[in-house]
Structure formats: structure tokens, C-alpha cells
Amino acid sequence: MALRGVSVVELGGLAPGVMEKLQLGPEILHKENPKLIYARLSGFGQSGRFSAMAGHDINYLALSGVLSKLGRSGENPPAPVNLLADFGGGGLMCALGIMIALFERTHSGKGQVVDASMVEGTAYLSSFLWKTQRIGLWEQPRGGNLLDGGAPFYTTYRTADGGYMAVGALEPQFYQVLIKGLGLKSDQLPSQMSVADWPAMKKKFADIFAKKTKAEWCQIFDGTDACVTPVLTFEEVAHHGHNKDRGSFITDGEKGVSPRPAPLLSNTPATPSSKRDPFLGEHTEEILREFGFSQQEIDQLKSDNIIGSSNKLNANL
């Protein structure tokens, strides 16, 4: 079998039972290679009444309970751009599961199946929300609490030029720097933690932020401990001074901007590529040859429409 020497296989995006029908399920492959780590990434997991249902990030986020915590008071929970469940609770947690299985294999010498459910991965990422329910952090309805936009010192404000500033002055000493930057005096304001005064204070802060541009507010708060930063657009982010200092964003050969690989390792940092993104399936044949497939076998896969022909590829990932 071509997968005899493979240490890890990650197979995601297929409904439960599909790989078994193809005779590529974990039970069959583990007989050939007991050390194989077989990762199965799916929305609802490999079991349960929803396991065969179609879904997307917003559905998995909804079923995890996390979506109910997002958004402003009186508004519908928003669709958060397919990051939390797909990439956070899904891809990232699946990769962590593979790392754990690899470490365990150094002790047992055996592979295992990683059942990565985006619902469960997202719920586990939100453990902080669950563990802090009893300490009063979420007593108010959604959008009215300390960390979900309810506090005037932990939210965003619109500026005179239509931009936004992010404010996160939780600690008293940082709050005092914020108040000073806004041109206010703390002895003339309610207590920072007076929840009843938060709505009025948010309006006061909003009125002040609306009088200056984003750039003007950056001149006031940059370099201070007010915990106030500009909400940067994709067009702005690579030009920000801090990001430029660290080289946090890279530009490819087609002038496209993207984040540099993170985290940054001291001894073996990733070497960013300036090449264009690969076309969908561009390296399929190359990878199959590395796994031991013959050209005849590859041609057969093409003939069976299991893989596409490289000369028909025209879509970027």
C-alpha cells in the first residue's frame, strides 16, 4: 500500500463513512501501518445525530454555545467571518490533536484516530467563558458585560473620519491614562466599575472620540498605557509602524500582502515565500510520487476523476 510509510494522515471535509466506502478508513489503514495517526476533521464530529449533516462555521459556532455570547445588546449574534470554528476550533485544534498523538506515540509506539469536531473544538477554546460564569463576569445580557462591549472602557469607538479606535483599559491605572487622553477628569466622573453608569459613560466617550480622526487619536495614545489602539484595515495593517518594526506582514511576487508565519521561533524561524499561492491541486502529482505512487497509478486516478489534470487548474487557493 502506498501509505505504508506515512506517519500522519489528515483527512477532513468528508462526511462520516465516506473514507470507509473508499476502503481508506482508519481500521484498514492501521492494519497496514499501526503507527499511523489518522486525523478526521469535521463540523459535528464522527458520531452523534448531526454527524452526517452539512454545516458551516456559523452552524458549528452556534451549536457550541459561543455564538450566543457574541454581538451587541439588542442585535442578532453576528456571523464572525468563518474564523472561530473553521480555523480555531477546527484546524488549530485538529493540529494540536495530531501533536498530542505524535507525542503519545513516542511512548506507546502506536498511532490513533483524532476525531476533531469543530463544535467541540470551539467549545473547548471557550473554556474561559464557561469557567468564569460563577464569578459575576457575565451577569448582564449579551453586550452588557465587562468584556463583551458593555463597559465604556472595553469597546470600540467611531472617529471623525469614519475609522475606529479599540479601547481596552480594564485596569484602574490604565483607565486613568485613558481618561487623561480623552481630556476628562476622573474626580468628575462616576466610578469606573459603576455598571449603572456605563451606558451614559459610553455615550460620553463616543461623543469625544467622534471629534478627532483616527490619526489624531493615535498621536494622543500611541506609546501610552491607555490600552487604546487603532482598528486597522487590511490596507493599513502592513504600513503600521509596529508591524513594520517586526516585519509582521509580507508581500509576495504579485504584490499581495499576507501575515508572516507565526509564532516566531528563535532557532528555526519559518522562511516566508514570496511566490504566488499554489493553484488548486497544482502539486498533487508531485506529492503522490513522494508517497510512492507510480505514474501509471496517477494516470488511473486522473482517468477515474479522483484527481484533476494539472493543465486544467486555474483557481487559486
Determine whether 252 is an active site residue.
Answer: no
Q: What is the DSSP letter of 291?
A: T
* 184 Ramachandran zone, left/alpha/beta (phi>0; psi -120 to 50): beta
56 is catalytic: yes
Q: Which of 57, 86, 115, 148 is catalytic?
A: 86
H helix runs in 65-171, sequence order: 93-108, 118-125, 127-131
Cα→Cα distances 313→104, 280, 282, Å: 39, 6, 7
56, 161, 239, 283: which one is catalytic?
56
Contact in structure between 69 and 142 (CB atoms under 8 Å): yes
Torsion angle of alpha carbons 92, 96, 102, 105, nearest 10°? Answer: -140
Residue type, 218: C
* Residues annotated as part of the active site: 56, 86
